Amino acid sequence: MTYDLILRGGRVIDPSQQLDSVTDIAFAGGKVAKIGAGLAAGPATEVRDVSGFVVSPGLIDLHTHVYWGGTSLGIDAEDFCRRSGVTTAIDTGSAGPGNFAGFRKHVIAQSAVRILAYLHVSHAGIYGFSHRVMVGESEEMRLMNPVDAAAVADANRDVIVGIKVRVGLHASGTSGVAPLDIALQVADEVGMPLMAHIDHPPPSYEDVLERLRPGDILTHCLRPFPNSPATAQGTVKQAVLEARRRGVIFDIGHGKGSFAFKTARAMLANGFPPDTISSDVHALCIDGPAFDQVTTMSKFLCLGMPLPEVIARSTVNAAMALKRPELGSLKPGCVGDVTILSVADGRFDYVDVVGEHLIGDRRIVSEGVVIGGRWWHSATAGRFEPR
């Protein structure tokens, strides 16, 4: 076989195959072609030396807001993905059935990186989210649009992966679980998973979890008090344990107000890590405290999670949550997306959403990206030049 690209001599970490080895990886026709030492290059093969670096399946950020220009919270997907090594960005409810067509035409279709989406059950998605204007779209029940949401989701199954709803004091006010119940009806109608946002009560963490089905996602799962998954004594709430047993997926969704080191330490100490790590990057947190996907991953590395487990929660676990097994893996035949990483040693200051600082000794850095079997960019000019 003739290869389009070979990455030579990197430490390939692919949790989908329990692979952690220094080897080569080759791509052809936009897909992973082969993994093995000393792969032979043809005359037209581009070869890049990545020795000394980690080669991971392309990172998947399961929670972003990238409807740039269409919503006040949206960021530019390509700028963000270049910085953080993300090859697949999942927009979580920025658009609803009333404005998804514009999101698809002007952002998703134009992007070099893969953008998939959870469709908001609210007609206009998350429309009032900025420093000066903060309107909970789920508080106004007249904006709930299950009929059109089902129709739009069904017509865009190639890019819509599920239904999104936000509930909590800030997102749904006194509407409680009513928006969640409507969103679940839509998810049932179209046969898709649901992603539920939770913030301050009402409703309670338990009220939300008890409604979620196997394969549904609770994002902001390690949020601070109130509505933390941990008790005041530092144990895991019974409803949380029961939800995991029945297959609910727990996602980080760091964002501006939804991740606390105190909660993370308690849950990890009890053997309850998140299923997926995501940034929830948007206009109000891209300059901190979330910053990007690799910063969020670095926080878990510094909390003691081994690097392969951190990578798993940003690749294969996210792909399984999306029901897209062709992503998040370097198995031959899978999509040829790769993120090249380094792990820097030093003294790094990380902060959570309540202002607690963690001084860590390691930082995950994005060094380069391959998308669809083609070299996309290096973080540092001149690095990994072809030979």
* Digit-coded pLDDT (tens) for 170-200: 999 999 999 999 999 999 999 999 999 999 9
Q: Which residue has the tokens 């692919």?
A: 14
Q: In whole angstroms, what is the distance from residue 78 CA to residue 81 CA?
A: 5
Q: Are 337 and 58 in contact (CB under 8 A)?
A: yes
Helices (H), ranges, the chain: 77-84, 100-103, 146-155, 169-172, 178-190, 205-209, 238-245, 261-269, 293-302, 307-312, 316-322
Residues 6+ apart with CB under 8 A from 101: none
Residues of the chain under the 50 pLDDT cut: none
CATH for the 58-322 domain, from 2.60.120.380, 3.40.1360.10, 3.20.20.140, 3.10.180.10: 3.20.20.140
pLDDT in tens, 321-374: 999 999 999 999 999 999 999 999 999 999 999 999 999 999 999 999 999 999
For the beta carbon of residue 335, count every other beta carbon within 10 angstroms.
24
Q: Are 325 and 287 in contact (CB under 8 A)?
A: no
Q: In whole angstroms, what is the distance from residue 104 CA to residue 3 CA?
A: 32
Q: Are 253 and 63 in contact (CB under 8 A)?
A: yes
- Residue 30's alpha-carbon distances to 3, 4, 99, 380, in angstroms, are 10, 9, 31, 24
Beta pairing, strands 357-371 & 374-378:
antiparallel
Amino acid at 349: D
pLDDT, residue 19, reads 99
Name the phi and psi angles at 328, rounded to 5. Answer: 70, 20
Taking the mean position of all CA atoms in its chain, how far away is CA 41?
34
Nearest Cα neighbor of 303 from 257, 348, 339, 256 is 348
Q: Tokens for 309, please give them.
A: 């487990």
The dihedral over CA atoms of 107, 109, 110, 114, expressed in degrees to the nearest 10, equals: 90
Q: In whole angstroms, what is the distance from residue 315 CA to residue 307 CA?
A: 12
pLDDT, residue 377, reads 86
Nearest Cα neighbor of 114 from 159, 168, 148, 172 is 159
pLDDT, residue 145, reads 99
pTM: predicted TM-score of the whole model, two decimal places? 0.97
pLDDT, residue 100, reads 99
Q: Angle, nearest 10°, between helix axes 146-155 and 178-190?
A: 40
pLDDT, residue 365, reads 98
- Residue 382's alpha-carbon distances to 48, 90, 303, in angstroms, are 12, 30, 33
Q: In whole angstroms, what is the distance from residue 177 CA to residue 167 CA?
A: 7
pLDDT, residue 379, reads 74
Amino acid at 347: R
Question: CA geometry: angle at 309 spanning 306 and 314, to 5°?
Answer: 130
Q: Which residue has the tokens 């009513």?
A: 178
Examine residue 332 and say whether the peptide bond preceding it is cis (omega within 30 degrees of 0).
no
